[in-house]
Structure 1
Amino acid sequence: MVKDILSYGIGTLAAFAVAAALLFVFIRDITQKKHSVLRNYPIVGRLRYFFEQLGEYFRQYFFAGDRDEMPFNRATRGWVYRLAKNEGGVIGFGSTYDLHQPGALIFVNHPFPVLEEERLPTPSLLLGEGYCKQPFEARSIVNVSGMSFGAISAPAVRSLSRGAAVAGCWMDTGEGGLSPYHLEGGCDVIMQIGTAK
């Protein structure tokens, strides 16, 4: 019996051991519930995680950075993946976003905000300048995003409109279209069209 086993050779025994290990990994991958890549592509899917770890070093010398890809860069995709797996989306201690780039938006957290009379005015942004007779002057970089009137109540739209007027920003109507409540506050209104079914 021992003589028969030894006659196969060490290489054959090693091949059987590797095959058994691969079979174990295959069964483990298709039965686990945490990673859909491993479930759909058993064994081979593990290469993805290996190359993902090596990717940082390859990108550093050969390829694009974490924020160079479009429309969704690696940093954004990584954040979405972490949120989808309930691993949290809070990232601290710096940014991979180039804050020195001209035109980069920076929100500075001030423990001691300046007084109103010491505040510098926000520079306006003219939309459509050179392309139309009356370009739109956006006075704020923070505005009220589109919320459909069908999704929120009339008092909510009134409140948002009045708040936007006080803040000096514009309000997007959302897919529900323009209502009289959007106009009550006297803020600038951007009417959203074309995205509804």
Structure 2
Amino acid sequence: MTLLGWAAPAGLATGLAAWMLAGGASAGLDKLDGVETRLMALKPPAARRAANEIGTADLLATPLFALTTGPGAIREPSIRLDGVSVSRRRLAALVSIDGKPALWLTAGQSSDGVTLEGVSSSAATFETAVGTKTLNLGEQSAASTPDPHAAPAPAATPGPSGPDQMPPGRHGPPEPASAPRPR
């Protein structure tokens, strides 16, 4: 019983003596000294330094949110979706911005502060300074302030619209032969 009582302290003392002979705590640190000096000599790339040099004044001058009223407000453009083109090679929308003549925008392309984000078979999604808007064919978004130099937008034609409706002037495919016939 006495041998077991002295085995644990004798083992700890032997381990401590071996550790001290090997150099103690400084033995592991000495191995890293060369690596640490090489790391301190490295300089960050120029591009990273330029991004880190943004001043506090620059950050304070940039608003977090777009102002829509008051002095310095950002004017939201009026957007009208006149057509879409969806194919394997191209996603595009025929868009009139602020009553100007319509032009084709491809996905990701910008004009007059409006970026076309996506196109579906009957709608398109636009990104403006104020936010994201999704318009169906023939729809027009309202401008935040009227532009006195812009031509008035044509009135929307009444009729069905939406993702499940055909645009005006279009006809769907014929009914299948198995469809019930009206009596």
TM-score, length of structure 2 as denominator length: 0.22
Larger Rg belongs to: 2
Which structure carries more helix by proportion? 1
Relative contact order, higher structure (CA 8 A, sep 6+): 2
Which structure carries more strand by proportion? 2
